[in-house]
Structure 1
Amino acid sequence: MKKLYDFLTSLDLGIWLVSGVMLFLGIGSFIAKEGSAINDVPLFIWLTQAPPAETWWLWITVAILAVLALNTVLCSIESLRAKWQRGSFLIRIAPQLMHLGFLLIMLAHLSSAYGGFKDGGPLPEGGAFSFPDGSRLDLVKLDVQIGPMGMPLDFSGVLRHSTPSGVIKGTFSPNHPYFYKGFGVYLKNVEPSPVRTALVEIHREPGAPLALAGALFFTVANLMLIWLRRGKRAA
């Protein structure tokens, strides 16, 4: 058991695991066929519904990432045990914050892969679609500014959302999506003719808050390490 534990806590294992992730993601970039739905649906839906010939490399990548997460946790525990009585608090805690940020980002992707939602497509002016809770979102009006070359320069849409708690009126534009209970409705493009039609995407990313927290921890830890090393060079 001790040999297994030492193996799982080794830095060499972490390096090999990261190399394995990069290798199989590289293989997957060549295996993915044109028209693959990997970017159009939550990841776990694609993994369970696509043919094994297209998904095997990602299953291996997920397994490697699981071992890498275990390696990160165990390395953090061993690092704290070894350095708890040495150096300043910042020196002890900075690498662990970096590890925590990495783990939170992994957990965020896992959460979105399992509980995420992706849908969308063309929606004409006056059209509507329904959310999973049964509420109805109507595209009341599209406003488009056409440039001299006949291309849209700016566009936005007026929305009416019929929910169980009442009617909500809102708008959306390329940089200002409409949000409802964790769902984001994004206006990607507008075709002005023959009928004004919006290209709409609907996303739900339950892992977004965790990803933001992980990125903040990772950034703060890196800034702390840069500051500590700068202090050492000055000394």
Structure 2
Amino acid sequence: MPTIKKIPATITAVSDTTPTARVVTLTLSEPLPFVAGAFVNMFISHEGKVLRRAFSISSSDKEDKTIELTVRLSPNGAVSPLFWKEDIIGTTVEVMGPLGLNTADKMLQSKTFLFGFGVGAGVVKSLAEHFVQDPNCTELTIMLGSRNEDEIVHLKEVTELATSPKVTVRHAISNPGDHNTHPVGYIQNHLEGFDFNNADVYVCGQEAACEALVEAVKKQNPQNCLYFVEGFH
């Protein structure tokens, strides 16, 4: 189990993954080994106060000298707008971690489902990158739920993962535009064809969405199905 520690880090890059979601890269003062699925608490100073927020790690657990966090812009929030400021590069923060119980080392079955709502796609990407390299995982299904086709977080990276023969990728769009080609609705409306028997099911997103999806899976009465739920407000 990786050791939890609190260390300085510097924001060294930001990039957009959708119009309202951004990847924030932190260069760490020392290595921070973690297992995919973990999160960190970030401490950032703003207007004389130190603010703390929890963010799932969205980068590969093969790299421990830098980590990436996928952040959704909340215009009225205290922290997320800071990552859209022009002078954010070079900002020093502190991170504490790795934290979390729903990590890849707990998911031991050969069949894995990774479901991510919205910005929950960040940690799903990290987990997927882990399981693509894990020979014990023989079937990996990724499904992302997004508001519209322009808001599919980490679309490029997840599409590339689908080139692996053991990976299946699906999307669900709740408020589609005119050119949408994906199923319309929420993830829980499009579970047809999935066999959840003898499987690990990971879900990340708003708590209400996670609960609705887990209930939909349970209605299929799968046997030996384990749930790993990472809900946030």
TM-score w.r.t. length of structure 2: 0.25
Instruction: Give the structure with the larger helix fraction.
Output: 1
Computing the radius of gyration over CA atoms, which structure comes out larger, 1 or 2? 1
Whose RCO is larger (CA < 8 A, sep 6+)? 1
Instruction: Give the structure with the larger strand fraction.
Output: 2
TM-score w.r.t. length of structure 1: 0.25
